[in-house]
Structure 1
């Protein structure tokens, strides 16, 4: 399974902000949309990610306030990215190693979407459920073998 498979199921909605936006506006946008990240775009290019992790650190360091900070002041300006062709088997360990919950999907310099750790976990579970269903159907339809006396017998002891 590839990242493009997740994007196809997830849809093409992108939530973005500008690095010079007030952090308080970005927080309000995230709360209104019930989302955990915003892709930070400038001149049509991805320049960072703002996630609840950066917000929590900012709140902790500023006595519970975002003050008059801009998105640029707290965003991750070097987010880990992947491509639509990246296999999920490659994405999972990367997200786990860096504790990354949101990963922008890039095709050259074009932002194609953002996948979350939840999206990846859901895709893996759905794939495993499908595989389990197929295996159960296969076992249920297991052909019987003829025994040496010409009678049907089970393949199971």
Structure 2
């Protein structure tokens, strides 16, 4: 299974934020859209990732206040990226190694979407369920040996 398979099912809605936007504004967008991440884009290029992890770290660092902090100050620069043809096993491995919960998906220089750890886990479970159904059907239709009691 490839990343493109997940994005096809997930849909193409994508929210981005600019690095010079206020962190408070980004947090409001995340809360309103019930999202755990925003891709940070500047000049058409992905320059960072803002997740609830970075938001919490920054709020704690500032004594519970967001103040005048910008997204650039809180974001994770150089986020982990994948492309449409990346296999899900590779995505899982990369996410686990870097403790990343969200990964922007690129097609060349174009942002195509974001894959979350939840998306990956859901795809794995669905793939396993499908394989289990095939195996059960195969076993159910197993031919009886000649002379066997049936």
Structure 2 equivalent of residue 53 of structure 1 = 53
Unpaired runs of at least 5, structure 1: none
In 2: Cα distance, 1:42 partner to 1:89 partner = 30
Structure 2 equivalent of residue 64 of structure 1 = 64
Structure 1 position 47, deviation (Å): 1.1
Structure 1 position 152, deviation (Å): 3.8
TM-score (norm 1): 0.92
Structure 2 equivalent of residue 4 of structure 1 = 4
Structure 1 equivalent of residue 21 of structure 2 = 21
In 2: Cα distance, 1:70 partner to 1:62 partner = 13
Aligned length: 150
Structure 2 equivalent of residue 92 of structure 1 = 92
User: Structure 1: which 4+ aligned runs deviate by more than 3 Å?
Assistant: none
In 1: Cα distance, 2:149 partner to 2:55 partner = 65
Aligned residues: CA RMSD: 1.0
Matches within 5 A, 1:72-111: 72-111=72-111
Structure 1 position 42, deviation (Å): 1.3
Matched, 1:133 2:136: no
Structure 1 position 79, deviation (Å): 0.1
